[in-house]
Structure 1
Amino acid sequence: MNGEAPLHSAGTMSESRLRTSEDLVIAQYRERLRAINSPLALSAEAWAQCELQARRIYRDCTRSYTAGKPLVSDTHIAEVVDLGGERVRQGVHLTHSVRAGVLLFDLVLDQVVEWTEADGAPWSAYAAAVRSLQHSVGRRLEAGSIGYDSFMLARVREVHKQGHRKLAREIHDQIGNSLSLAMRQIELYELELRDRGADVPKHVRAAREAVLETLASTRELVTELRRPTVAGSLETALNHFVMSMGDARTPVQLWVRGLDEWIPTAVSEELFLMVRECLRNVYRHAEAGNVVVHIDIAPHEIQTEVIDDGLGFDLASVHAGGRSNGLTGLEERAELLDGTLNIDSSPGRGTHVTIWIPIKEDPASPPPAPGRAPETEGRR
């Protein structure tokens, strides 16, 4: 052994001693959980998972005590993320896991104190064991809460999606059906007039156009409600939208750099709607051969570009023709976010849309300094 003595007497703790004390702690742990009617001890499945984690925590602690330094198996902790969702499926609230963690911490800490007093171990052994215990319990509670929150968020999103689908069905079945009946009545009236050799009155033709326009808007609304929203990541949501359009004639190259966590949820949803509107304009009007979407997310700002090589348009003509509702909506959304919108386009030269949005840590923080945002030229 090169003449080196063990760090402390705990290094000679027998396997049987460790096993006996482990079984004792686990038995006491289950008894205390039962005493407070914890569902973690009342269900065989929940207890099996709980016991497994408790034994791993205990063994991390003993390894750290004998080594004189904290040793924690992070690979095991990673499994607890899935366990958080499993707790929801079992009907076990997160608070029960927190209470169980506190109980186990107290029991194992008492065991460490007993070892230290019996072995006369140095402070390093006790400190290593306590640090390992705190880290092992704390990391598992943290990972479990992440899994619990993720599972609940997924359920909320699913309920939200189901609500959208139900609304889409109601609009399609009720409003869409009524509009179709109205359209059929107009068509029958027009046929009757033609059979008599009479012209269709101007107000009937206007009614027909209004019903057709409303039918088209209803179909678009139903389609919109059935499309995925921002769930998971901005890039995923935009990719889903591009795929749902199914237009192979207009390939879209999409790049998103940075972390979604830097964007507040409300800002992410607004940016998704803005980029989606830009892409919809491309699909409807541009006849583009290529589209590039580049989103650069930084902790303090988001820079977005949507570029196409399509037909382009004249901003002034669009404004004058009263066909700028979509672009006005883009402008208003950018303004609500204290951002800027710049549209560079002309006939035959394609379109380049630039969107700049600041990310504010505090809603009451002052506006960005002049010159931070790109200059805004013609808007529509």
Structure 2
Amino acid sequence: MKNVVVIGAGIVGLSTAYYLLKEGFQVTIIDKGDITSGASFVNAGYITPSHIIPLASPGMIAKGIKMMFNSASPFYMKPRLDTDFLKWSWYFHKSSTLAKVEKAIPLIKDINLISRQLFTDIKNSGDLGDFQLERKGLLMLYKTEASYLHEKKVAERVNFEGLEVSDLNKSELHKLEPNVNIEAEGAIHYECDGHTTPTEIMPKLLIYLKQQGVVIKTNEEVLDIKTSGTIIKEIITDKDSYRPDEVVLAAGSWSGNLAKKLNLKLSLQGGKGYSINVARETGISIPAILMESKMAVTPMNGFTRFAGTMEFSGNNDVVRKERVHAIANGAHSFYPDIEINDTEINAVKTGLRPVSPDGLPYIGKSSKFTNLTIATGHAMMGWSLGPATGKLVAELLSDTKPSMNLTAFSPERTF
């Protein structure tokens, strides 16, 4: 029985362990934290086939430069002289073309649809017990004509790709969400999308993996990776050392730093997001993106989550209060009866999403090391794509034909 070390215990790492276990591998997970926080716990919980446009799209760099000096803006790049960041920014700029976006659209759709089905399969298997998994769709709420016209173009493309979408006016929106006052002109409703409660699924997945014999090492940091020719021989941590047959690098925003230990180039930046949980009754029953506020709202099990922002300021957990207040204000502007209070604001959580320059994940085997597979770089779709990524990695390690062509996700692609 082959033994695999998975570095990283976010949704991608745990999903990878889940599917490797199903294929009969012996799995050890190593994570530098205690697996109770980070992007996999604080995200919006969306399963989003509708999100077919990658982050690297025309105009995004111009937006980033415009917003660079406003640390409360939804898309914020902290100006800094950091070689990795400057290279990544240049690759991001080069990837932000219509031609590259066109190539990415079907790929993003296909991997999301695989993942959506896998979430359902996991629920139906009973492995994790019961958990929230709903298909109520996603509302893109808008206040202005400009936002509506922008989203309508996306909706037309989503519809062309065969996904369910509808256009709602004010009264149709009220019929769908009768228990909350919404200050919006209407919504595009992506009926193809689903939602979950990440803080419910992550602990259940951990419990299941432990029960099935997966070894989980927490608060343990990988310090070095020893190689011999084209083989990874040993992983050295601050507590122990491991000699696995296979290694999966799924360490989220820290994957780039670990890749450097192997002299591999993996262009990645941590995109920080924030989330506020409101445990009071809000009346919100359908997930929504508030277009002008550029933030997400999700009715989860026991609370409503208000999440948002994409902040590139390095791998840190510094909370910028102005950004948190921008989320609270954005929520109030669309839901005027909902006031997020100081206690809720002060309990804000943050997480780093690993962002590749072209907005596509890195999923694939290394050509330099025969026993290394990389799975990271999912940007805002990490939660949505966790199960699909885990399944694809398990297929690669089992020498099974992958569920989809992975060429475009190659960790060694050029930008």
Alignment TM-score, normalising by the size of structure 2 = 0.20
Structure with bigger strand share is 2
More helix by share: 1
Q: TM-score, normalised by structure 1?
A: 0.22
Q: Which has the bigger relative contact order, CA under 8 A and spacing at least 6?
A: 2
